[in-house]
Amino acid sequence: RLRPCVRSFACTQIAHDMGPVHLLEPHHVVWQEDVDRKCYTGENSEDLLERPSSAIDMSLTSRMPPLIVPGPKKSPQPIPVECKDDAYWERRKRNNESAKRSRELRRIKEQQTTLRVLYLEQENLQLRTELSMLRSEVDKLRQLLFSSKHS
């Protein structure tokens, strides 16, 4: 369907049924059919913009950055039973083992991090206590020095 899309330069959203594409420069019109084709064919966005058309202001297209268009998302399809051969089940087994190892390593790393945090918190408390005692000692020595100078 031919539906004009307003295009300027601030974001890289594609105008399907969600409305216009907003970017930053002055507005340009790109036909919805061209944007849809760009989404599915990977056609160079500059080709879309430089194509002769009475709807596009050609004097402004040279300043336009390329239109970034993500391809269609591929949703996972269930594998048919006839394709589930020995190689498939071997891959599944290896993947499951790998996932199990990964989860176990992540759990171990999390435990190590927790232990390290506890150790560092304890060390921090000891250092703060030591610092407080040393500051107290410095204050006592200053008072002693001050009292000996003025006596």
Q: What is the pTM of this model?
A: 0.41
Question: pLDDT by residue (tens digit) across 22-65?
Answer: 444 444 444 444 444 444 445 454 454 444 444 444 555 555 56
The better pLDDT of the pair 59, 12 is held by 59
Task: Dump the DSSP string for 30-98.
Answer: EEHHHHHHHHHH---HHHHHHS--TTS-TTTGGGPPPPP-PPPP-PPPPPPGGG--HHHHHHHHHHHHH
Q: What residue segments make up the domains of the chain, in order of their start? A: 4-63, 81-149
